[in-house]
Amino acid sequence: MIDGVNIADGRVAILGRAALPSVAVVSFVVGVGATLAVAGDTLGYDFRAYHQAAVRLLNGQPLYDTSFQAAGGFGLFYYPPTFAPLILPFGWLAEATAIRVWTAILLVSFAVGVALLPVTRSVRLWIVLLAGLSWPFVYAVKLGQVGPILFLLFAAGWRWLDGPARLGTGLALGTAIKLQPALVLVWAALTRRWPAAGVGLVVLLALGVLATALAGSAAWSDFVHLVGQVGDPITTAHNVTPGAVAYQLGAPADVALVIQWAGVAVTLALCVVAVRWATAEASYLVAVVASQLVSPILWDHYAVLLLLPVAYLCAGGRWWAILIPLATSIPLVDLSPPIVYPISFAVALLATLAVGIKARRLEPS
């Protein structure tokens, strides 16, 4: 009987592995396709702000519209000036065409990012499957958000941790698009990856000079002014930072602000712990997660980047990690309370840190 059970279990496992590629592709195509099919006028909602900024530049107008008072409004562009050279070509395209091209770039970026993950084929297929079920991923694609591009850049950095040019360039491009990845550049310096940090700084400087030439020096002060105006980490609607969630649950604003800054301090401290006691790849991924968690605005679609530590954990046999993206999956989108997001980030960070510390201890001295 025991032999019969083992044979049956083995056959089930073989069938499961054989079916995984098809299931992963179907999950991805159905999840993304269904979301885009019903997007209507919301397709490329956030990308339109990028497109409008590019058009303003081409027309000799300011890069930023500083009239916005809160994050989340249509047309708000509050990315650093270094993003301007990267999106400028889209300003030459009609909006509808630009949205289609950008959406294709997002999907290709994710696919390439998955292919670059330094994990087994089965783990990659699970990441594709989970992406199709993931509300943060399909929502990011629908909005035209940069999450899938950051996924590619961080995945490339993970694969080429000891490749200074590739790592530094990828982190610089991430920082140029959104400021948060600068924390991972700091990680490179803390882990004494000086060539990578140097390459990153040179690339950022070059993009900064180009951005200034395109948008003028006033763009930098406009950016700082705008971020200060719309970057409230507590009262911004739909924000899921720890402080914002505490405020939404009834905590006074000053208490919520203390919670927010305490969370940032703990997150940064854990990054230092990871650098000191975890493996390089684990500390890198801790920094990636932390770069989003310390942001004053944490939108739900930022959680697409949690697929990276999930891949790391699954690669080490911690298959329970698939529960992290499943907690924010499409079927649960109207059921999961906002607190699920900071908890998901915290679990991914802490689990990656714990596994990385254990792996470091097992390394030959």
Question: pLDDT tens digit string along 261-280?
Answer: 999 999 999 999 999 999 99
Span 312-317, mean pLDDT? Answer: 96
Residue 13 has pLDDT above 80, yes or no: no
- For 105-110, what is the mean pLDDT? 98
Q: Is it the case that residue 14 has pLDDT exceeding 80?
A: no
Distances (CA, A) of 137 to 130, 181, 329: 9, 19, 9
| Core vs surface per residue 265-285: b (16+ CB within 10 A) or e | ebbbebbeebbeebbbbbbbb
Indicate the SS3 state at residue 149.
helix
Amino acid 365: pLDDT:
64
pLDDT at 11 over 80: no
Q: Quote the pLDDT of residue 341.
A: 96
Work out the average pLDDT over 321-330: 96
pLDDT of residue 6: 52
pLDDT category of residue 9 using cuts at 50, 70 and 90: very low
Higher pLDDT, residue 168 or 231: 168
What's the pLDDT band for 15 if we cut at 50, 70, 90?
A: very low
How much of the chain exceeds pLDDT 90, in percent? 84
pLDDT band with cut points at 50, 70 and 90 for residue 148? very high
Kindly report, residue by residue over 151-162, the tens digit of the pLDDT: 999 999 999 999
Across the range 117-144, mean pLDDT stands at 96
As a whole number, the mean pLDDT across the chain is 92
CA dist 241 and 297 (Å) reads 7
Query: For residue 141, is pLDDT > 70?
Result: yes
pLDDT at residue 76 in the model: 86
Q: What is the mean pLDDT of residues 216-238?
A: 90
Residue 350 structure tokens: 């802490």
Looking at residues 169-185, what average pLDDT do you find?
96
- At 126, is the pLDDT very low, low, confident or very high (cuts 50, 70, 90)? very high
Neighbour-count burial of 97, counting CB atoms closer than 10 A to its CB (0-12 exposed, 13-18 middle, 19+ buried): exposed
Tell me what percent of the residues of the chain surpass a pLDDT of 70.
95
pLDDT at 12: 44
Residue for token pair 């409230």: 232
Mean pLDDT, residues 330-345? 93
Task: Give the CA-trace dihedral at 330, 334, 340, 342, to 10 degrees.
Answer: 90
Structure token digits, residue 239? 């924000």
Q: How far, in Å, CA of 259 to CA of 281, rounded? A: 29
